[in-house]
Structure 1
Amino acid sequence: MHDVDHETRPGALDRALASLQWTLGMARRTVLPAGQWTDLPAGSGAFHFASSGSAEVRVGDQRWSLAVGDLLLIGTGRRHELHATGDATVVSGFFDHDEPGRQVMAFLPETVAVPGFAGHEPELAGLIEQMVCAPEPARAGEALICRQIASAVLSAAVRSWAERGLAPERWLQRFDDPLVARAVDAIRTDPGRGWTVDELAREATMSRSAFAEQFRVVVGCSPAAYLTAVRVQRGMELLAQGASIAEVAQRMGYESEAGFRRAFRRHTGTNPASWRQTAAAG
């Protein structure tokens, strides 16, 4: 944790939040007795808010505890589990974000934990309590209302996370880096291209060595690792739309289906077929 500094000034934070637009697939309330657990559907992202009791969210080997009023934002589509450590009620939303939103999410940690969200944002916590949105809306305008609520809640979560000093150092400077942003844009625009570090450095108008070092500082991983993450994320979206694994592998630039399967498993902890089955069941 660190003190709030010049990076969380309203102007910089406003620019980041303005790019966050969310499309809510569904929201549901899960009630679990102590000791029970449930699988949560894979997708583009999710948030979980502890309405009562206590719970733990598990993503692979990672664990996050939720007490009453805590919120957890998971920006990727990895499969995860909800475990009740006491009798618990958790409101969960499952969402996608548009391309500008993806750019911001690229510079956030995979998971954003906001303890005490309800105390810091009581009005929005109240909206979450009322938030139950089905994949197929029962009333006119319901999908639009749910989307607006989701955008408000998730933007407030990022704001609270930043204002309270929970964010990594200099995260807004990372978002604003114009040269690295060019390379990020290039990858996200055409993830199936066989990008090399030299090509991405040219996109950023930087030398190869300076680009590789700055990219790792800004994004938190190497260009190759980021390219793989984007390919897997896009692959998830295509699989959810009904594309075959072979088609996704080809469109995402893999020479073989096996190569895509290996990358997908390394990134998500499961294989593409199992992920699609779980996503469809959720």
Structure 2
Amino acid sequence: MAGPIRRRAGEPEAAGADDPLSGLAPLLRVQPHLDDVCRFGGAWAAPHEQEPARQAYFHLVTRGQATLWRPGRAPLQVTAGDILLLPRGDAHVFHGVGPPPSTQLPVTVRHAQSLRFKTTVGAEPDVELICGRLAFEAAPQTLIVTALPDLLVLSVGAQPLATRFAPLLAGIREELNDLRAGAVAVAENLASALFMMMLRAHLETSAPAEGLLRLLGQPLTARAVRAMVRDPVHPWTLDELAATAAASRASLVRAFRAAAGVAPLEFLTDLRLGLAHHRLRTETVSLDRLAAEVGYQSAAALSRAFLRKYGVRPGQARQAEAPPTAG
């Protein structure tokens, strides 16, 4: 994979993008989870292990400078105003500017609401990081992830669009500093908006990427994708999708395979199953109703397709996502 892609807010839009976000937005269905507010100084390091599937790491650098280290990659210096996204949840370590410390200062951890506040002991903090995870909850998750580089960095700084990004960063930081009622929920909603703006900046400053972004960046495939996103329950045929895209069946299949490695109806299956998976995670709904609402003729048909895609039945997936009962 290519190295980190660093975007500067406000650079001109790539030609021919055909407004990819109008198709991307309903697919993203992401849920940010804020985990840590880190205030470090002196000799410090903050390791992050590989995250499970569907979990991306993100970090907001709200003060100072730090170094991001990833196995097999050159160290990356980050500074206040940088927003980092690791879509595949790769293992990485943050530490202070310069080489990794041989010894580290102890860190105190204070819990407040659902957050951990981590602070070094024995040194005045000069770096602040807000760290969290982003769950890709809807379909097609694999295409969303493959559409992005291993590391995406948005440098807000003093760029022309800083007036749009800076208030969101400041709002998140203020909510987490004050911790008033509902602060984490407000901050996570701001983080969700920030993530969407980050993707928009990525799209506006690059040629269409592989996978989903490439599908949405080409008018022929974008028309078919948007039709399926608007009405995934419709019994789409390849003929209908080709007509919607104003292309021949063969041309549409070639374009989908070239962009994302799947045929149009495979994409539709991923979309439906991803929506079903999302609803199983977030709602209590019968399998019969769920099947009808995501485009399957029966619960049995949904269950078979779900098993092929995820390796478990829908009921098992629902149980796996259920919160533990109090003992």
> Which category of TM-score, normalised to the shorter sequence, fits these structures?
0.5 to 0.7
Is contact 2:69–2:93 with CA below 8 Å preserved after alignment?
A: yes
Q: Write the mapping of 1:75-86 to structure 2, written as runs, cut at 5 A.
A: none
Distance across 1 between alignment mates of 2:221 and 2:144: 15
1:117·1:157 contact (CA, 8 Å) conserved in 2? no
2:132 to 86, 91, 105: 91
Give the corresponding residue for 2:237. Answer: 196
Specify the alignment match of 1:61 in structure 2. none
Aligned counterparts of 2:212 and 2:297: Cα–Cα separation in 1: 38
Does the CA contact (< 8 Å) of 1:183 and 1:201 recur in 2? yes
User: What code does the residue aligned with 1:72 have?
Assistant: L
Q: Does 2:294 match 1:252?
A: yes
Task: Tell me how many residue pairs correspond in the alignment.
Answer: 251
- Equivalent pairs: percent with the same residue? 21
Q: Where does residue 153 of structure 2 map in the other structure? A: 117
Instruction: Confirm whether residue 230 of structure 1 aligns to residue 255 of structure 2.
Output: no
Q: Indicate the structure with greater helix content.
A: 1
Structure 2: distance between partners of 1:190 and 1:94: 23
Question: Secondary structure of the residue that 1:194 maps to in structure 2?
Answer: coil
User: Secondary structure at the residue paired with 1:274?
Assistant: helix
Shift of 1:23: 6.9
CA RMSD of aligned residues (A): 5.2
1:73 equivalenced with 2:84 (yes/no):
no
User: CA–CA distance in 1 between the matches of 2:291 and 2:35?
Assistant: 35
Instruction: Compare CA radii of gyration and give the structure with the larger one.
Output: 2
Q: Distance in 2 between matches of 1:271 and 1:133?
A: 40
For the 8 Å contact 2:55–2:136, the answer to whether it is kept is yes
Q: Does 1:261 align with 2:303?
A: yes
Instruction: Using structure 1 for the length normalisation, give the TM-score.
Output: 0.60
Q: TM-score with structure 2 length normalisation?
A: 0.53
1:48 is matched with 57
Structure 2 residues not aligned, in runs of 5+: 39-45, 61-66, 79-83, 96-117, 119-130
Confirm or deny: 8 A CA contact 2:276 2:294 kept in the other structure: yes
Equivalent residue number for residue 155 of structure 1? 197
Change (3 A) 1:252 1:23: closer
Tell me if structure 1 keeps the 8 A contact 2:13–2:204: no
Matches within 5 A, 1:124-135: 127=169
Distance 1:112 1:275, change over 3 A: farther
Q: Does the 8 A contact of 1:20 with 1:155 survive in 2?
A: no
Deviation at 1:251, TM superposition (A): 3.0
Partner of 2:257: 216
Change (3 A) 1:159 1:268: farther
| Residue 178 (1) aligns with residue 214 (2) | no
